[in-house]
């Protein structure tokens, strides 16, 4: 059985980091299979015990296939960018001890300077993306065992990065606002607040976040709708479609098919 805890960052880091996560437990016998639909956040992951096997589907239909795909073992430290369709399953087996840093939409780009379009729909060994920083941070995190201790180490490191890199620009702030609104801000409104043309906003958004504002909005809304159902199973899909400003339930079903490879009910059944 696995237990996952989440904790918000300190106030100074909230414009850059959404949350920290800690997953621990033991899976014996058959691997636990976890489908990964589209998701908006960039994540830095550190594995201290057994690692996950990642199975990639045939992506020709953007995630519509459900084959087992080719599997490979995740690196000890991994960076995953925003995902815009269902392409991966995780197979989890053995002793699990994983610490994760979930960034705000432009947080990883701001702190490390990586063009996020290079990480979209991809994951890489963190050593190859942020260099020796990844190795040093992982060593420090592995020297302690509790969630709280690891957060303190991560915060100390990330606060140094913030001081070196300075404040977010207006595009990054608009990306944070879009994420916090569950994808309901329009591109025109965001561009007006940033005092940019829509085309200028889109170009800078692509570099800092990894996808266009319109697609990011769609992924954020889908992810929020799925989280609502997982956290509140008794809420009807009709109510969820209304709460997240879909035109109707079929509009939501269409997004689920594009972003999760299946209808809402069928995909939820696969998660459960």
Instruction: Identify the pLDDT of residue 270.
Output: 85
Instruction: Identify the pLDDT of residue 65.
Output: 44
Instruction: Identify the pLDDT of residue 173.
Output: 97
Helix ranges, 143-212 (H): 147-165, 170-180, 187-194, 198-209
Cα(99)–Cα(125) distance, rounded to whole angstroms? 15
Find the farthest-apart pair of alpha carbons in the chain and give their distance in angstroms, rounded. 56
Give 96: exposed, middle or buried? Use CB within 10 Å, 0-12, 13-18, 19+. Answer: buried
Taking residue 248's Cβ as centre, other Cβ atoms within 10 Å add up to 11
pTM (predicted TM-score): 0.92
Contacts of 15 (CB under 8 A, 6+ apart): 104, 107, 167, 168, 172, 173, 176
Whether 93 contacts 14, CB under 8 Å = no
Instruction: Identify the pLDDT of residue 58.
Output: 58
Query: Could you give the C-alpha distances from 27 to 93, 118, 124, 269, in angstroms and in order?
Result: 5, 33, 25, 20
Q: What is the mean pLDDT of each run of 10 residues along the chain (272 residues)?
A: 96 97 96 94 97 78 48 94 94 97 97 96 95 93 97 97 94 97 94 97 98 97 96 95 94 96 92 78
């Amino acid at each position: 059985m696995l237990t996952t805890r989440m904790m918000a960052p300190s106030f100074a880091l909230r414009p850059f980091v959404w949350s920290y996560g800690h997953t621990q437990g033991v899976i014996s016998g058959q691997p636990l299979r976890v489908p990964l639909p589209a998701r908006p956040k960039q994540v830095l992951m550190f594995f201290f015990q057994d690692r996950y096997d990642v199975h990639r589907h045939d992506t020709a239909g953007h995630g519509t296939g459900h084959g087992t795909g080719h599997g490979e073992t995740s690196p000890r430290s991994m960076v995953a960018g925003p995902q815009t369709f269902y392409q991966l399953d995780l197979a989890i087996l053995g002793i699990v001890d994983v610490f994760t840093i979930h960034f705000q939409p432009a947080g990883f780009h701001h702190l490390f300077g990586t063009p996020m379009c290079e990480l979209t729909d991809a994951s890489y060994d963190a050593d190859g993306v942020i260099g020796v920083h990844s190795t040093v941070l992982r060593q420090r995190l592995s020297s302690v065992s509790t969630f709280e201790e690891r957060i303190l180490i991560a915060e100390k490191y990330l606060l140094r990065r913030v001081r070196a890199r300075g404040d977010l620009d207006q595009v990054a702030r608009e990306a944070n606002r879009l994420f916090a609104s569950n994808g309901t801000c329009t591109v025109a409104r965001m561009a007006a607040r940033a005092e940019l043309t829509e085309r200028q906003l889109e170009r800078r958004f692509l570099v800092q976040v990894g996808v266009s504002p319109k697609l990011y909005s769609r992924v954020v809304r889908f992810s929020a709708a799925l989280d609502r159902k997982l956290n509140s199973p008794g809420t009807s899909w009709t109510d969820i479609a209304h709460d997240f400003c879909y035109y109707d339930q079929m509009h939501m079903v269409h997004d689920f098919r594009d972003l999760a490879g299946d209808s809402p009910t069928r995909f939820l059944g696969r998660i459960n």
